[in-house]
Every structure is written in structure tokens, then in C-alpha cells.
């Protein structure tokens, strides 16, 4: 008797998904994609921590970190918005996504060279692999679309291809000219979505996008905790300076716990009504993700300073934690929290960000103080949000 079991076709038409599709959640492939991409995030954080602990070339280290994180964030973000609109989950789609993951791992392998002597070759190769895989996905989407939507998909494909050609050309110019190419290339990358979607909008799913960003935030925070834990363990094994590390551990945990709390305090998908809100929100996450990962690097530096291995001042060591923590608090408020707050409660996070930054002056006690400020901000926000509203005097 022949089998009646339904089998899925290996290749399906890549058609746009509905923006109001119910129960739209992240897939196992998307989660695997995130976990592999965080390898590059961790590599960038480790290189940043090593450079900051040495105290030499801080400006160069921050620039290289910003460039490395931009590449990881931008490739991740483009995949995320595309998959929200066109994920058909067939064999070609899965294989192309695995190629993108391979490119991310190649890019991660090139990050140490980028920090050491500004060698972009391996990093650019990995980045181009990621982005050309995305180029083929947009070509597939164009074949499944019609009219303005097809023109949009083709514009994406053309834009991605041209910018990758630009990065390859950058490798051929003298090293002294590279600094001119980098900002031009970054602006070109950021401009592709705006140009491609100037007439029609890709059918991304607001709830799915919000979930994907939230999941990546969780993974980055997890990498931050992991990096700090490894640094603590190494310091204890080598120096047994537990009493000096406990304040850093407590402060770091409070910062990470607060970072999770404020990000997920209120749903954000209802705010993502169109491209104007969504683009600003999505682009702003460069600072959210980058600062969250930098907190982990800063905690590594603070640990090394506590055991005498970092060649920087106490204030500089504290700043490696307080500055990215303040950036995170302020950016999450700007993108997230202020949309669901009113009255005094909406100003808690900006004030907390300023106080965390001021904790830098405390030197060795700065990390613990910053953690206590972050925890106090959560408590203050909860208290203010539960206070009974004052009745309007004009209403009898």
C-alpha cells in the first residue's frame, strides 16, 4: 500500500509572508544563526578588552571594535529583516543561511588581525561571503515578487553587490587611503534599505522582528556574563584575590540583570508601525548590542586591573564598564522605555545613565557603584509606575 505521508518539497517559491501572520516566532535556524554570530561578537569583545588593558592605542582599539561590531551587526540585521519577510525554509534557503554563518566565522577569525595591525583582508573576505549570500536571497525574492515589490528586491540585490565590490576594491588601495573608504562604505551599506524601499515596504513582521532583536540581546548579554566569569575564574586561579574581585562581580551582575530587566520591561512591537519607526529602532540597536558586548570587555579589564595586570589607572578601568553601561541605559530608554512611560518614570533611565557615568570617578569602587545605581533605577521605575495617578483637579 503506498504511503500517504505528506512530504515537503525541497525547493519552494520564495513568496512574501503576511505581516499579520499569527504565531510568527523565531525558527531554530534563526536561533542557530544568532548563536554562531555571537562568536564574532565575543571575539571582538576579547580583542577590545586586551587592547584597553594595555592602555596603548585606546582610540585605535575603539575604532576597530566599532568597525568589527558594525560588520557583525549589519550582516545580522539584514538577515533578520529579510527572514522576517521571505523565509520559505526550503533547502536552498537553509544552505544559503549556512553560508552566511560560515562567513561570520571567517570574519571572526580575521578580527585579531584587524586589531593587531589593521589587516582587513580576512575580515573583509568573511564579510563579503556573508553579504553575497544575502545577495542571492534577494535575487530569489525578486523572482517570487511582482511589480514594485520585485523592483525593491532587485534594488536590494544590486545595492548589496555594489557595496561588496567597494569593499573588495578597498583591499587594493594603499593602506593610507583605507580610512577614507571605511566611512563611505558604511554609509553606502546603511543607505541600501532606504533606497530599495523608497516606493514599497518589505513585508517584515513587527512581532517577529521585536522577538528576534530581543533574543539577540539575550545572547549578547549571555556572552557578556560568560566573558566576565572566565576573567574572574582566571584571576582567582592565578592570584586568589577574591576580596578584590567580589565588588566587581556583584556590580557586573547587577548591571547585566538591570540590562535584561529594562530591555524587556514592555513590549515594543506595537511601536513598529512602519519603516520610519522601524528603521530608526533597528539602526539604533547598533549602540544597544555594541554597548552590551562592551560591558563584558570592560568587566574583563576591571578584573585585570584589580589583580594588577592592567596598565591603566583605576578611573580608566572603571570607565571601561561605566561608559558602555551608561550608553546602554540611555539608548534602551531612547528606543524602548520612553514609549511606555509617562510622568517622572520616563526620566529614570536618563538620570541613571548620567549617575552611572559619574561612578567612573570612584575608581576601584566604580563598577559596584554603577551596579547599585542600575538596580536602584529598576526599583525607582517600579515604584513610580505603581503610584496611584493624581486625579485631574478640573474634573469633579
| Class of the domain covering 206-384 | mainly alpha
Instruction: State the Cα angle at 201 between 286 and 81, rounded to 5°.
Output: 40
* pLDDT for position 392: 42
CA distance 127 to 119: 14
CA 352, CA 370: separation in Å to the nearest integer? 9
The per-residue pLDDT for 299 is 92
Tens-place pLDDT, residues 277-292:
778 888 999 999 999 9
pLDDT at 7: 61
Rounded to two decimals, the pTM is 0.89
Q: Which residues of the chain have pLDDT under 70?
A: 1-8, 239-241, 274, 337-343, 387-396
Q: Given this model, what pLDDT does residue 324 score?
A: 96
Q: Which of 316, 332, 329 is nearest to 254 (CA)?
A: 329
The whole-number pLDDT of residue 144 equals: 83
Report the pLDDT value the prediction gives residue 391, as an integer from 0 to 100.
Answer: 46
Three-state DSSP string of the chain: CCCCCCCCCCCCCCCCCCCCCCCCCCCHHHHHHHHHHHHHHHHHHHHHHHHHHHCCCHHHHHHHHHHHHHHHHHHHHHHHHHHHHHCCCCHHHHHHHHHHHHHHHHHHHHHHHHHHHCCCHHHHHHHHHHHHHHHHHHHHHHHHCCHHHHHHHHHHHHHHHHHHHHHHHHCCCCHHHHHHHHHHHHHHHHHHHHHHCCCCCCCCCHHHHHHHHHHHHHHHHHHHHHHHHHHHHHHHHHHCCHHHHHHHHHHHHHHHHHHHHHHCCCCCHHHCCCHHHHHHHHHHHHHHHHHHHHHHHHHHHHHHHHCCCCCCCHHHHHHHHHHHHHHHHHHHHHHCHHHCCCHHHHHHHHHHHHHHHHHHHHHHHHHHHHHHHHHHHHHHHHHHHHCCCCCCCCCC
Cα separation, 156 vs 136, in Å, equals 10
Q: What is the pLDDT of residue 365?
A: 92
Domain with CATH 1.20.1410 in the chain: 206-384
pLDDT value for 177: 87
Amino acid at each position: 500500500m503506498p504511503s500517504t505521508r505528506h512530504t515537503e518539497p525541497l525547493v519552494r517559491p520564495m513568496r512574501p509572508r503576511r505581516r499579520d501572520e499569527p504565531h510568527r516566532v523565531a525558527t531554530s535556524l534563526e536561533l542557530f544563526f544568532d548563536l554562531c554570530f555571537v562568536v564574532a561578537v565575543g571575539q571582538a569583545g576579547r580583542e577590545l578588552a586586551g587592547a584597553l588593558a594595555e592602555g596603548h592605542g585606546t582610540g585605535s582599539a575603539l575604532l576597530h571594535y566599532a568597525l568589527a561590531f558594525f560588520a557583525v551587526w549589519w550582516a545580522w540585521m539584514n538577515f533578520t529583516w529579510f527572514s522576517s519577510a521571505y523565509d520559505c525554509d526550503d533547502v536552498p534557503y537553509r544552505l544559503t543561511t549556512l553560508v552566511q554563518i560560515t562567513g561570520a566565522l571567517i570574519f571572526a577569525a580575521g578580527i585579531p588581525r584587524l586589531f593587531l595591525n589593521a589587516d582587513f583582508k580576512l575580515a573583509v573576505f568573511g564579510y563579503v561571503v556573508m553579504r553575497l549570500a544575502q545577495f542571492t536571497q534577494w535575487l530569489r525574492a525578486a523572482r517570487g515578487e511582482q511589480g514594485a515589490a520585485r523592483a525593491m528586491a532587485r534594488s536590494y540585490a544590486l545595492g548589496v553587490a555594489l557595496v561588496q565590490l567597494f569593499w573588495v576594491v578597498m583591499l587594493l588601495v594603499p593602506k593610507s587611503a583605507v580610512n577614507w573608504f571605511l566611512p563611505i562604505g558604511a554609509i553606502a551599506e546603511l543607505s541600501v534599505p532606504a533606497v530599495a524601499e523608497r516606493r514599497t515596504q518589505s513585508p517584515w513582521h513587527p512581532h517577529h522582528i521585536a522577538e528576534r532583536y530581543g533574543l539577540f540581546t539575550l545572547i549578547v548579554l549571555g556572552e557578556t556574563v560568560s566573558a566576565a566569569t572566565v576573567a574572574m575564574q582566571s584571576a582567582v586561579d592565578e592570584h586568589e584575590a577574591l576580596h578584590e574581585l567580589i565588588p566587581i562581580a556583584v556590580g557586573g551582575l547587577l548591571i547585566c540583570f538591570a540590562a535584561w530587566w529594562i530591555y524587556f520591561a514592555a513590549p515594543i512591537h506595537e511601536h513598529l508601525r512602519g519603516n520610519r519607526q522601524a528603521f530608526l529602532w533597528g539602526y539604533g540597536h547598533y549602540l544597544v548590542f555594541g554597548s552590551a558586548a562592551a560591558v563584558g570587555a570592560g568587566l574583563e579589564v576591571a578584573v585585570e586591573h584589580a589583580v594588577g595586570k592592567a596598565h591603566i589607572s583605576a578611573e580608566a578601568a572603571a570607565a571601561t564598564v561605566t561608559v558602555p553601561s551608561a550608553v546602554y541605559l540611555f539608548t534602551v530608554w531612547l528606543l524602548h522605555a520612553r514609549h511606555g512611560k509617562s510622568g517622572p518614570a520616563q526620566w529614570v533611565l536618563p538620570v541613571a545613565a548620567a549617575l552611572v557615568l559619574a561612578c567612573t570617578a570612584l575608581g576601584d569602587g566604580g563598577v559596584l557603584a554603577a551596579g547599585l545605581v542600575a538596580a536602584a533605577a529598576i526599583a525607582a521605575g517600579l515604584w513610580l509606575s505603581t503610584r496611584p495617578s493624581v486625579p485631574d483637579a478640573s474634573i469633579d
